Amino acid sequence: MLHSKETLRKMYSVAKGYYCGGLASPNPFPVLDLRQSLSSSRKAPGYANPCRARSYTRNVLTGSSAADQEIVIALGSNVGDRIGSFDRALRLMKDSGIKITRHACLYETAPEYVTDQPRFLNSAVRGTTKLGPHDLLKKLKEIERDIGRTAGIRYGPRPIDLDILLYGDSRISTETLTVPHERIRERQFVLAPLVDLLGSSADDPMEKSWHSLSKCSGGFFDVWNELGGESLIGTQGIKRVMAVGNRLLDWSERTLVMGVLNLTPDSFSDGGKFQEVEAAVAQAKLLISQGADIIDIGAQSTRPSATRLSANEELERLVPVLDAITKIPEMEGKLISVDTFYGQVAAEAVKRGATMINDVSGGQLDPSILEVVAELGVPYVTMHMRGDPSTMQSEQNLQYDDVCKEVASELYARLREAELSGIPLWRIVLDPGIGFSKKSKHNLEIINGLGSIRKEMGKVSLGASHVPILLGLSRKRFLGEICNRADPVERDAATVAANAAGIMNGANILRVHNVRCGVDTAKVSDALRMVK
């Protein structure tokens, strides 16, 4: 692929590479400050006396392991369909008996060592296997060949690269396999995904052993911090991205705006206005002209006590409008989200051009939607709600001792179900569910506490704490209560104020009825966030 003699010479001159190749309990752990974990030079609590890692002897390096071993596998790709190669690699690993239990975020990174080649996608997964380390290595090489990797120059372009980063609590050093390799310390494209798979709590025994393998008193957190840690993310060297079709979306560059298009007769703000195809298409064009990045089409009302439609009834409303909107030239470069909790509707919507699924139930009303979305390979918005629209505002579902902590815990449970169903973390968006199973004070606490929700999730999964957050508070009742505005349309100014606070506290996507106001809110808030 690289033809110049000078490039080849550089490739051959690079030092020999490495093979360096987890699973943590999803239960909450005692608090360890996330910021300290990622940016402080102090020792991370819990690592002063790291547990000792085992060294493998030759007689256990081949064959199957008697028990499942917890592993971390790194993924990289920089030629061809990079996202498609990752998806296929995950399927083939699953088919090989490797159970994937957690995903890191997705990173686009600049090539290192040999820089005259395309940018890489990098990530990592945790899981379990009964394969011995060398059998696992052999299986990963088979998967690489199946995806199209051939013998090439070290550090050169490749459609897929699968490396064992960690294998149980063992340190492995043989002629063909080193786990972990000493050069892991210098590689941001390896460390960023690896750290995502850990929690900021210090209480998980396996994670303690992994940290001890880092040869650093503060574990991999300190190794990552020495390279620059979170300050590196968003630079030309490494960006955290989301896979949307064959595109990569960097939601950290600016706040995205999702315009609401309700096809229902009874939605609280604009019910009945856009049921006809012509009216819906005109509204979609208006939202796009005002600057919407995403159009969110809903054919099922989820207001309190709404009557639930069947999947077929929902499709009867949705399909004609979706078919018409996907054909308009204004949709070029825009995303279409479909607001549904039915797997059947999700499948049909993506078949007809939708690029994202927005599920207010987080998989609780139709569990089949999780496996359906995993197979579809589209982003999935999972929202916090207790019960269903008919019961979510019951007294029982409105009880919280600490709303941010409990929303974080319950939303993380939804995220874990999605991951275990096969939806990678790099396709998940979190919605704290403003107005769903919440009183007015709960909504306000969540808007102010988005950072604490991220931090709470970071105790068990730093990767989960980094995923984009969608805020859907547009024109909602609690704003009317605060401002004494009975008509939802008169709540746009209040929506602007609440959304601005949300962005300043970490929201990445605004779901709004008035897109013009939403775009201006995002632009001003983003500019304020950039001020040092």
Q: How does pLDDT run across 105-149, given as a tens digit for each residue? A: 999 999 988 888 899 999 999 999 999 999 999 999 999 999 999
pLDDT classification of 52: cutoffs 50, 70, 90 = very low
Contact call for residues 152 and 170 (beta carbons, < 8 A)? no
**Is 476 considered catalytic here?**
yes
Show the DSSP H helices in 55-115 as ranges. Answer: 82-95
> Whole-angstrom Cα distance, residue 373 to residue 367?
11
Of 163, 72, 114, 174, whose CA–CA distance to 463 is shortest? 72
The yes-or-no verdict on residue 432 having pLDDT over 60 is: yes
Residue 265: its pLDDT value, please? Answer: 80
- Lowest-pLDDT choice from 61-75, 97-111, 453-467: 61-75
Residue 41: its pLDDT value, please? Answer: 34
Residue 286: its pLDDT value, please? Answer: 96
Write the pLDDT tens digit of every residue in 348-386: 999 999 999 999 999 999 999 999 999 999 999 999 999
Mean pLDDT of the region 180-199:
90
Q: From the candidates 126, 459, 491, 511, give the one annotated as an active-site residue.
A: 511
Helix (H) / strand (E) containing 393? none
Write the pLDDT tens digit of every residue in 491-521: 999 999 999 999 999 999 999 999 999 999 9
User: CB count, 10 Å around CB of 393?
Assistant: 17
Tokens 């699968």, residue?
162
What Å distances lie between residue 36 and 43, 232, 422, CA to CA?
9, 16, 32
Q: Residue type at 420? A: L
Contact call for residues 321 and 282 (beta carbons, < 8 A)? no
pTM beyond 0.85: yes
Which domains occur in the chain, in start order?
A: 69-239 (3.30.70.560), 254-530 (3.20.20.20)
pLDDT classification of 186: cutoffs 50, 70, 90 = confident
Of 119, 174, 123, 163, whose CA–CA distance to 141 is shortest? 163
Contact call for residues 412 and 461 (beta carbons, < 8 A)? yes
- Lowest-pLDDT choice from 57-61, 104-108, 249-253, 484-488: 57-61
Residue 506: both structure tokens together? 């970490």
Q: From the candidates 58, 476, 485, 523, give the one annotated as an active-site residue.
A: 476
**Is 247 considered catalytic here?**
no
